[in-house]
Amino acid sequence: MEVKTHLLHPALHEYVLNILTVDLTLMDGISEVVTPFPPSPFQSLMFYCNDPVSMGRPGSANFETQPLVLLTGPQLSRVNVKVHQRLRSIRVDFLPGAMYRILNVPMHELADGGYDALDFFDAEMRRVNERLQNPGTMEEGKNIVEEFLLKRVIGLRKALPFDAAIRALLATNGAMSIEKTASLSCLSLKQFERTCKERIGMNPKFYARILKFSKAYRLREDFPQISWLQIAHEAGYFDQMHMIRDFKIFAGVNPSIIEQELLLTPLRMQKDMRY
């Protein structure tokens, strides 16, 4: 599995956090694999070259094939991702609040959903999708997506102090107090909570919990040899029990079960997210 995080064009720094390319071909004799994908802090665009993934909910045997360009809203609960033989994709993770500034759609309306991005963007997105089928290299695919993103900068809604404040919360993995974050946004606490629901898709305390949980989950994917106690400490949890509680909420199971599930798949979908 070859994953590359690309340097961003300077003009994208205001609203894009990561552009990652993935190129994976399953081993001979393996036609598909399933891996957990619990909540991450981002709204994202996933561009699939040729072969989209399928997604299903825990406890269900039903998997739905995803569109070739997938827009993910605020993720509140876990899904399972099924990869079929080959995965070539370009993932764009947006800074918190940026998807709202691009689409002018309240993010809580997109919560826990994956959508066909062609329904949200103009005809240029359809042309991007067509160009991404059979790209010569993943670098060429990244360049096509970056060209599209640079055109979106022109119509981007104006940033507010809120956007800088929520980025500061992101930088602390949710450790900064909500009161301090609201103060940085130049809003009252109630105003901050309303704006957070509109631009992030959830209340700020819930978002801060997802940030902390995501750090713990990515540590497990990236460093399977370290203990859960160390992960809890590194992620900023007060104790291991608080981390276990969040795993049950966001991953649907306790950490030991996630550990077993990851042993059954070669895929690590979140460890390369950087923020």
83-99 pLDDT, tens digit each: 998 899 999 999 999 99
The pLDDT value given to residue 89: 96
The pLDDT value given to residue 114: 94
- Quick count: other Cβ atoms within 10 Å of Cβ 24? 16
For the chain, where are the E strands, in sequence order? 2-5, 16-25, 32-37, 44-48, 54-56, 64-65, 69-72, 79-84, 86-94, 114-116
The pLDDT value given to residue 50: 82
What is the dihedral sign for C-alpha 114, 250, 183, 95? negative
The pLDDT value given to residue 231: 97
Query: Which regions of the chain are under pLDDT 50?
Result: none
Rounded Cα gap, residues 186 and 167, in angstroms? 14
Burial of 220 per CB tally in 10 Å (0-12, 13-18, 19+): buried
- What residue type is 233 in one-letter code? H
The pLDDT value given to residue 273: 85
Contact 68, 111 (CB under 8 A): no
Backbone dihedral angles phi then psi of residue 69, each to the nearest 5 degrees: -125, 110
The pLDDT value given to residue 103: 94
217: tokens are 């989950």
Rounded Cα gap, residues 182 and 16, in angstroms? 22
66: tokens are 């995803």
User: Half-sphere exposure (CA, 13 Å, Cβ side) for 91?
Assistant: 23
Helix, strand, coil percent content, the chain, rounded in steps of 5: 45, 20, 40
The pLDDT value given to residue 1: 79
User: Half-sphere exposure (CA, 13 Å, Cβ side) for 171?
Assistant: 7
Q: Rounded to a whole number, what is the distance in angstroms from the first to the last CA of the chain? A: 21
pTM of the model: 0.93
